[in-house]
Chain A
Amino acid sequence: MSGAIIALDNVTKSYGGVIANRAVSLTVERGGITGLIGPNGSGKTTLFNSIVGYHPIDSGSIRFDGQEISALSVQKIARLGLLRTFQTTRIYGKMSCMQNMLISIPHRKARLADMFAHERADVVERAEQLLAFVGLYEKRELRSGSLSFGQQKLLEFAMALMNEPTVLLLDEPTAGINPTLINGLLDRLKRANTEFGITLFIIEHNMRVIMNTAEKIYCMAHGELLAAGEPGEIQRDQRVIDAYLGAT
């Protein structure tokens, strides 16, 4: 399968007088890993928020799997299979890791009667497998709020996988994670892509990570799309270098 799973066409979003995204057009290839980089304040997270329906966009179009989603609510978009993780990790802090996983089942299949269902054995097993996948199996009964920041990030990632998304938008997955663990996370991201077939769209500041993971990278600056290309091209692109070093 190939082709664009997410297609943005001239998406503009402004807050009052500040234009956070100006006529951004990009595509995310189905089954691939796409990166989004750019200096702080260049509008990356705003773009993510627009895609997942967190706020209405001013103009333009956002299509997911051919369907226009720019007017849908966050929950509806999530149930379509387009999921995001947060820059500041968000988990259910007073619940155990297992409970966090069990409530993260894909809700697109949820019928009314499922509100009062008990968790099925295969769902519990899947939750345990995914916790093992991110290395949190031993901590499954601990309160998730008591985990370290890095572990919470891994848990959030496992919860996202539990939801069986088609596309996963990751907002700085390695931020705040102990450098020695980044390789492990990187490897898990790649395996989520290859083995579970989840399309990844990643905002990342760690250049080593993104250059080694993504097949295509978009670079934003001042709310506009600056450059696009393979990691090698982006690294050599003078506009990208200028944006990061502040020459513009």
Chain B
Amino acid sequence: MNLAARQSWPFLLILVAGVIAPFLFPTYSNEIAVLWLMIVFASTWDILGGQMGYNSLGNIFFFGAGMYICAVVQIGLYYNVGMYTSGARTTHIVFTNAQYFTGLALGTVVAGIASAALAVVAGWIVLALRGPYFAIGTLGIAIAAAELVSSWEWVGAASGISMPVFPYGPEPQKLFFYFLLFALAFVLLVFLKWLYSTNFGLALNAIRDDEEKAEAMGLHTRRYKRTAWAISAAFLGVAGAIFGNMTGFIEPRDIAFPTTTFNLFMVVMVLLGGKGTLWGPVIGAVIFHTIKEVTWTYFLGWQFIALGALIVVTIVYFQQGVAGWLMEKYPRLFAPRPAARRGAAPALGGALTPHPEGAE
């Protein structure tokens, strides 16, 4: 197999699996849709956490922000948001097909862009922090956002918002949102594959390995850090917009800004699968989501204990994750990047030759 074929078969596999899965397992299509969401969570977290070495505990902020921004756009296009979300409202509001889909499309796009903008603004402050301070700073943003929205009457406060209803009934709705989440995850993976092959990937890795050195070499570190977080936030914002419409009801603490569930799952999935790799977060998300669904189904009541045990075991004994372990065990399977030319050492301008004594 040549290089292009070897690198594209995982994408083909995912494309085929993603398209046939909801027809093969129709009863599980919601669970599989959430799996694509988990892959988006893990892969976007890894942009900073794995590739750049900045462990964010607040990425869920962009998910929730996207969800709410989309809802406000969807409703605000045709109705008064304060009236729509009011608890005293007695009129039944129905969106026409055209209203529903224009609102959803516009809301999703605005959610992505606005979340990216929020990341740039938040990054202005917290990306100056390093290590555990960055983690706590970002966690603070997510918690503050949940509290803020919980007391903001205009967007329904703690009682949330009932989203516009999908016009074609529950079964088509399932499929529709399944394919939106699948498309998002697929586009994200293709995008990251490309992104990590450019200078951007190298710059993120350089910041991870030694940010001070990168600064001393003149790298535009702040520019890279902000852009990386904005990319991550844009995908999370779109994911939030889609997920909010998929569930049909959004509220701040458990659905939009769930700091102790989805927010932590992002980190655990990446650690489990392998930090700083393209496929590690995907592998981690698949394993984690499967274990989670199985424990939820068969060991209800014990699920958080099982998850806790998984987290402890991963962090204590298996920090490199599945992908890291595979790379250690079978290094030959992983082609070096960038592709190197074979042959004799090149000389500088012909006149210079490498020293015979070499390095050591």
Interface residues, chain A, with chain B CB atoms under 8 Å away: 52, 74-75, 78-79, 83-84, 86, 90-96, 98-99, 102-104, 106-108, 110, 112, 114-119, 124-125, 128-130, 132-141, 147-148, 150-151, 154, 159, 163, 178, 180-181, 184, 187-188, 191, 195
Size of the B side of the interface (Cβ < 8 Å), in residues, is: 42
B4 contacts chain A at the CB level, 8 A cutoff: no
Given known contacts A84-B216, A118-B197, A180-B357, A130 and B202 CB-to-CB distance under 8 angstroms: no
Bound-complex Cα distance A107 to B222 (A): 13
Bound-complex Cα distance A195 to B209 (A): 31
Residue of B nearest to A124 (CB): B338
Residue of B nearest to A106 (CB): B218
Question: Is the CB–CB distance between B357 and A181 below 8 Å?
Answer: yes
Residues of B within 8 A of A191 (CB): 352
B337 contacts chain A at the CB level, 8 A cutoff: yes
Complex A-B, nearest 8 residue pairs according to Cβ-Cβ distance, in ascending order: A78-B218, A92-B209, A137-B345, A132-B345, A103-B202, A90-B213, A107-B218, A79-B218
B220 contacts chain A at the CB level, 8 A cutoff: yes
Minimum distance in angstroms from B192 CB to a CB of chain A: 12
Within 8 A of A (CB), among B213-249: 213-221, 223-224, 227
Residues of A within 8 A of B209 (CB): 91-95
Contact of A140 among B216, B224, B340 (CB under 8 A): B340
Question: Is the CB–CB distance between A150 and B338 below 8 Å?
Answer: no
Supplied contacts A128-B345, A148-B360, 7 more A-B pairs, CB within 8 Å: A83-B218, A98-B340, A102-B199, A103-B219, A114-B199, A139-B359, A159-B217
Question: Is the CB–CB distance between B213 and A91 below 8 Å?
Answer: yes
Residues of A within 8 A of B219 (CB): 75, 103, 107
Residues of B within 8 A of A104 (CB): 217
Residue of A nearest to B198 (CB): A116
Residues of B within 8 A of A91 (CB): 209-210, 213
Question: Is the CB–CB distance between B213 and A94 below 8 Å?
Answer: no
Minimum distance in angstroms from B229 CB to a CB of chain A: 14
Question: Is the CB–CB distance between B220 and A75 below 8 Å?
Answer: yes
Main secondary structure of the interface of A (DSSP, over half): helix
Bound-complex Cα distance A79 to B360 (A): 32
Which of B195, B214, B217, B357 has the most CB atoms of chain A within a 10 A radius of its CB?
A: B217
Question: Is the CB–CB distance between B198 and A150 below 8 Å?
Answer: no
Within 8 A of A (CB), among B326-341: 336-338, 340-341
B169 contacts chain A at the CB level, 8 A cutoff: no
Given known contacts A129-B348, A135-B355, A92 and B198 CB-to-CB distance under 8 angstroms: no
Bound-complex Cα distance A141 to B339 (A): 9
Minimum distance in angstroms from B331 CB to a CB of chain A: 10
Minimum distance in angstroms from A154 CB to a CB of chain B: 6
Given known contacts A94-B205, A140-B340, A135 and B354 CB-to-CB distance under 8 angstroms: yes
Contact of B359 among A84, A98, A141, A150 (CB under 8 A): A150
B75 contacts chain A at the CB level, 8 A cutoff: no
Bound-complex Cα distance A141 to B342 (A): 11
Minimum distance in angstroms from A149 CB to a CB of chain B: 9
B347 contacts chain A at the CB level, 8 A cutoff: yes
Question: Is the CB–CB distance between A78 and B216 below 8 Å?
Answer: yes
B346 contacts chain A at the CB level, 8 A cutoff: yes
Question: Is the CB–CB distance between A92 and B205 below 8 Å?
Answer: yes
Contact of A115 among B205, B216, B227, B347 (CB under 8 A): B227
Given known contacts A116-B200, A135-B354, A96 and B336 CB-to-CB distance under 8 angstroms: yes
Residues of B within 8 A of A114 (CB): 199
